[in-house]
Structure 1
Amino acid sequence: MSNPYVGEIRLLPFNFAPLGWQDCNGALLSIAENDVLFNLIGTTYGGDGVNTFAVPDLRGRLPVHQGAFPGGSQRVLGSVAGSETVTLQLTQLPAHGHPMVATDAAASAQAPSTSTVLGGISGDTMYTSDINGVASRGLAATMLSFSGGNQPHDNLMPTLTLRYCISLFGIYPSQS
C-alpha cells in the first residue's frame, strides 16, 4: 500500500492485515521492535510503557474525532465511551399515563377496532361501538404494575464490519 504514515489507520475490506500493518485490536506490541510507532502513540491505548504499548482497539467501536463537539462533551485521545447494551431505568422514561376509554353500554364485539371502546362484558364480547357515556379514566394504581425486568437491550446502530489496521512502518509524520 502506497507510502503510509507510521501510525496511519486504514479501513480495509480484506480478512487479513497486510504486511507491515497490524490489526487495531488492542494488541500489546514490543517497544523494542516498534520504537517509531511507540514514539508517536506512546501508551495512549495501553501497555506498560517500559516493554510494551498497545495499538488502538477498534473492535466494536466507532472512532470519533478528539476534542469538544457542539452541545457535547470533551473527547480525549484514547478515551472510550458507550456500551453495546443498556438497561433503562424508570427515571429515564418520560412521564406518561395509561388512561382507559370505556362505557357502561353492553359489549357487542369480540375484537377491538378503531371504532370500538371497552364496554360492559357480556359472554365472550367486551367491545362496543356505542359511545354514549364514554369516559376516559385513569386505571387504579393497583391495576398497574412495572414491566420490563431491568434487562439490558441492544444499543447498536446498523453496521458493516470491515477491518481497521494501523501502519507499523512508513513516513514519519511531521507536525505542522
Structure 2
Amino acid sequence: MDDLLASIKLFAGNFAPRGYMLCQGQLLPIAQNSALFSLLGTTYGGDGRTTFALPDLNGRSAVGQGRGPGLTEVKLGEKAGAEQISISVANLPSHTHTMMTSSAPGTTNSPVGNVIAASEVVVERGGSPIPINCYGSTPNGQLAATAIVSTGGNIPVQIRNPFLGLNYIICVQGIFPSRS
C-alpha cells in the first residue's frame, strides 16, 4: 500500500478496497491494529484497552479541525450539527403585529389607505342599504394583542447543503507517517 496509514479518502464504489475500511465508526481490536491505534487513539471511540473506533462519517461531512478566522473551534473527533432545526420566535427578527385603529368616528367606507375607526349604524326596517363609514384616516390607537393571532406549523427546516452520497474510506494498511 502506498497511502499513509489513517488517511481518509472519498470513494465512489459500494465497498472498501483492500487495505481500507469504510468510515462507519466500527470498533477494531487494538492488538491486531496497533499502528493504526497509535495514530487514532480513542479520538473516535473505543475503550482504549482492547478497542478503538474508526471515524464515523455516515451522513456527515468532514471539516478541518481548529479555529478559522471568525469561526468557533472544532476539536479533532468532535461531532456537531444537525440536518434540520425548528425555528422559534427567538430566531426571528424583532417585530410587532400591531393593527392601528381610530376611536374617532369613521369618515369613509373604503379600507384603502385607512384604518378601522369607530362606527355606529341605525338600521330602519324596510329601508335601502346604508353605507357604514367604518374607516378613518388618522390612527390614534391599536387593537389588543389578543385580536391578532400568531400562526405557524413548527415544521423543521432543513439546513444542510446540497449533497451527493459517497463513501469515506480510511487506510488501515499503509505507510506509517513520519512526523518530520
Range class of TM-score, shorter chain: 0.7 to 0.9
Q: Which residue of 2 aligns with 1:29?
A: 28
- Alignment length (residue pairs): 156
CA contact (8 A) 1:105 1:119 kept: no
Map 1:153-172; keep pairs closer than 5 Å: 153-172=157-176
Aligned amino acid, residue 76 of structure 1: K
Structure that is richer in strand per residue: 1
Q: Secondary structure at the match of 1:32?
A: coil
Q: Which residue of 2 aligns with 1:81?
A: 80
How far apart are residue 119 of structure 1 and its match? 9.6
Q: Structure 1 residues 29 and 105, CA, compared in 2 at 3 Å: closer, same or farther?
A: same
Q: Matched residues in 2 for 1:44 and 1:50: separation?
A: 13
Q: CA RMSD in A?
A: 2.9
Q: Matched residues in 1 for 2:100 and 2:15: separation?
A: 61
Q: Which residue of 1 aligns with 2:129?
A: none
Q: Matched residues in 2 for 1:26 and 1:138: separation?
A: 59
TM-score of the pair, normalised by structure 2: 0.73
Q: Which residue of 2 aligns with 1:125?
A: none
Q: Matched residues in 1 for 2:161 and 2:84: separation?
A: 11
Q: Secondary structure at the match of 2:21?
A: strand
Q: Matched residues in 2 for 1:161 and 1:101: separation?
A: 52
Q: Matched residues in 2 for 1:49 and 1:96: separation?
A: 53
How far apart are residue 38 of structure 1 and its match? 0.6
- Ranges in structure 2 where 5+ consecutive residues have no aligned partner: 102-106, 117-135
CA deviations on 1:121-142 (whole Å, 9 max, x unpaired) are xxxxxxxxxxx9597x966412
The structure with the larger Rg is 2
Q: Which stretch shifts more, 96-105 or 15-24?
A: 96-105
Q: Which residue of 2 aligns with 1:18?
A: 17
Aligned amino acid, residue 89 of structure 2: L
Map 1:18-167; keep pairs closer than 5 Å: 18-98=17-97, 104-106=108-110, 133=137, 140-167=144-171
Q: Which stretch shifts more, 142-151 or 53-62?
A: 142-151
Q: Structure 1 residues 166 and 142, CA, compared in 2 at 3 Å: closer, same or farther?
A: same
TM-score of the pair, normalised by structure 1: 0.75
Q: Matched residues in 1 for 2:114 and 2:173: separation?
A: 73
Aligned amino acid, residue 58 of structure 1: L
CA deviations on 1:125-175 (whole Å, 9 max, x unpaired) are xxxxxxx9597x966412322333544332221111111000101110011
CA contact (8 A) 1:87 1:152 kept: yes
- Ranges in structure 1 where 5+ consecutive residues have no aligned partner: 108-115, 121-131
Aligned amino acid, residue 92 of structure 1: N
